[in-house]
Amino acid sequence: MEKERKKSSRGIVLFLTALILLAGLLAFHMLIGRGMEKQIEKLPEGILLKLAEPLEAGEIMKAETAGYEIKHIEKGSGEISIYTVRKTNEKPLHVNQVSDFTWNVFGRQIEGESLNLSSHRTMASQAVYLSWLIALLPMSVILLFVGIRKLGALQEKQWRQGVEGVLMIGAWLVVIYFLTGKLEIPREFLPPEQILDIRFYVDGIRGFFADDRWTDLELYQTLRACYNQEVEIYGAWVICGWIGTLIFWIAAGVESRNQKKRERRRQYG
């Protein structure tokens, strides 16, 4: 009876430890999220255009009549001019070819480069969900592995373990479905073919931070600073989650081994 009491108390301690760890991570994440929301609200919207030729007053007026808001940021070297363009009805803008975009908006084809500020603002707001996905990755793999192993116990008619396996896999599916359902990643940040094209994501991140076309602009610096802050803060939170998962799993593993030893001793006297 005393042994059963000790065994039960150890299980309760592990369960309470997991709850405390989860509550701490949730509270920490909420504080981070509130601070980052204020930073994201300050991020610019619209399209940043660097055009080879300056826009004429009539072209700007035509675009404004059509519902666009045009703001001249600065004049670059030579004839290059930089503008921000946004739709006054908050409809998202997309640029495939700058020359086609300027033809549709201003009535003249102008060569240049673009940076979708609204898409980056949306992407920055997704860090809250991406951090959860990354933080839960080790636990998800462990939960799925244990769930599948327990599910196999149904073949041996060990119904309790089989039901536990079903519940674990079900919980894993619900969490992944909920988090992925919250993601709203702009299409331009996703690979055209395979969603797990790691090289595409690496090249995209490297290209943005190594891009020297916009480095002199305050809008770009604000956006980049927000990304850097998210990586630092959410990265630290993810590492805390991984460490907590590791500690809890080691403790649970040790307790499981001790329990098996106790059962063997009881079985063989």
| Chain segment 119-175, per-residue pLDDT in tens | 999 999 998 888 888 888 888 887 788 777 777 777 777 777 777 778 878 888 888
Find the helix packing angle between 117-125 and 127-135, rounded to 10°.
40
The pair phi, psi for residue 105, each rounded to 5°, is -90, -45
How are beta strands 47-51 and 112-116 bridged, if at all?
A: antiparallel
Residues 107 and 173: their CA atoms lie apart, in Å, by 50
For residue 1, pLDDT beyond 50: no
CB atoms within 10 A of CB 11: 13
User: In this predicted structure, what is the pLDDT of residue 24?
Assistant: 75
Residue holding tokens 């980052």? 36
The answer to whether the beta carbons of residues 42 and 222 sit under 8 Å apart is yes
Report how far residue 139's alpha carbon sits from residue 255's, in angstroms, rounded to the nearest whole number: 18
Q: Output the average pLDDT for the chain.
A: 80
Q: Where are the domains of the chain?
A: 2-42+122-268, 47-116
Q: What pTM was computed for the model? A: 0.78
What is the rounded distance in angstroms from the CA atom of residue 137 to the CA atom of residue 144?
10
pLDDT of residue 160: 77
Encode pLDDT of 161-211 as tens digits.
777 778 878 888 888 888 888 888 888 888 887 777 888 888 888 888 887
Query: Residue 228 is encoded by which pair of tokens?
Result: 């850097």
Q: Look at 62 and 153; give whichever has higher pLDDT.
A: 62
Point out the least confidently predicted range of 40-44, 175-179, 248-252. 248-252
Please give the pLDDT value at position 227: 92
- pLDDT band at residue 2 under the 50/70/90 scheme: very low
What is the DSSP track for 67-135? Answer: TEEEEEEEE-STT-EEEEEEETT------S-HHHHHHHHHSS---EEEEEHHHHHHHHHTHHHHHHHHH
Residue 118 predicted with pLDDT over 80: yes
